[in-house]
């Protein structure tokens, strides 16, 4: 089989990373081309890298993160009450595989959404499917899926994400329907996926916000029993 036939076969099998690497190898002088074992390793590595890049691009597109934020760009100003060691510990993504939650609280503009987005962006790079919702959008998804009968399908879609980010929690009252749906989301994901919640309200105010003891107990038990709490302070970053 000649070179072009090999390239065509790789393309037909959708081995595009392998095809491009093979094409590059074939352009090298004969004495510069790798031996058989090294060539195979190079082709496989190229294919794996392409597939990894595609998966990352897909996860980033599906995540709908509020910011294309980077952990490296998080600010640790002295008045923020943000421990760099905590973020460094979270950066390896192991909290996701352990089903560990992150609760980020602080005043408007203090950077809650940015930190949540940075952790979500990093999760996508590490190969974890991630979904971002602000609370308004989450309520809309729940209401619409209830109306058109697709609620179970939507819940299953959310469950498959290894990391779910819920932003702006506590800004507006939640209906009974939303509280029950939120409980179901957390119940389905408990121990098998991680949830990041960002809120202006401190965690000790969430029980009163939910305003229904039985549901509040159940939701908070699943959120807080295995969670890292980040309590941000300081002035708004939006004007700095």
Residues 38 and 148 in one domain: no
Query: Is 205 inside any structural domain?
Result: yes
Domain count, the chain: 2
Expressed as residue numbers, the domain containing 28 is 3-58
pLDDT digits (tens, 9 = 90+) for 91-147: 999 999 999 999 999 998 889 999 999 999 999 999 999 999 999 999 999 999 999
Residues 114 and 165 in one domain: yes
How remote is the C-alpha of 67 from its chain's centroid? 12
pLDDT digits (tens, 9 = 90+) for 1-50: 588 888 888 888 888 888 888 888 888 888 888 888 898 998 898 888 88
Distances (CA, A) of 207 to 33, 71, 120: 66, 30, 26
Whether 239 has a pLDDT exceeding 80, the answer reads no
CA-to-CA distance for 69 and 112, rounded, in angstroms?
A: 12
Residues 44-69 have a mean pLDDT of: 89
Taking the model in full, what pTM does it have?
0.84
pLDDT digits (tens, 9 = 90+) for 148-182: 999 999 999 999 999 999 999 999 999 999 999 99
Query: Is 101 inside any structural domain?
Result: yes
């Amino acid at each position: 089989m000649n070179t072009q036939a090999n390239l065509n076969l790789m393309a037909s099998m959708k081995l595009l990373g392998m095809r491009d690497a093979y094409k590059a190898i074939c352009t090298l002088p004969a004495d510069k081309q790798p031996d058989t074992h090294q060539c195979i390793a190079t082709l496989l590595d190229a294919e794996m890298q392409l597939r990894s890049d595609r998966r990352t691009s897909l996860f980033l597109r599906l995540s709908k993160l509020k910011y294309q934020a980077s952990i490296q760009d998080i600010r640790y100003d002295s008045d923020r009450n943000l421990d760099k060691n905590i973020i460094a510990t979270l950066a390896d993504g192991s909290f996701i595989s352990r089903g560990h939650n992150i609760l980020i609280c602080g005043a408007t503009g203090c950077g809650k959404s940015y930190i949540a987005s940075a952790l979500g962006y990093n999760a996508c790079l590490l190969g974890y499917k991630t979904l971002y919702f602000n609370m308004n959008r989450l309520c809309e998804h729940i209401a619409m899926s209830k109306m058109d009968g697709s609620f179970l399908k939507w819940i299953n879609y959310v469950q498959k994400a290894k990391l779910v980010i819920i932003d702006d929690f506590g800004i507006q009252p939640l209906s009974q329907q939303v509280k029950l749906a939120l409980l179901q989301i957390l119940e389905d994901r408990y121990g098998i996926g991680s949830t990041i919640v960002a809120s202006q309200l401190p965690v000790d105010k969430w029980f009163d916000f939910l305003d229904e003891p039985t549901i509040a107990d159940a939701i908070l038990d699943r959120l807080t029993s295995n969670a890292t709490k980040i309590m941000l302070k300081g002035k708004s970053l939006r004007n700095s």
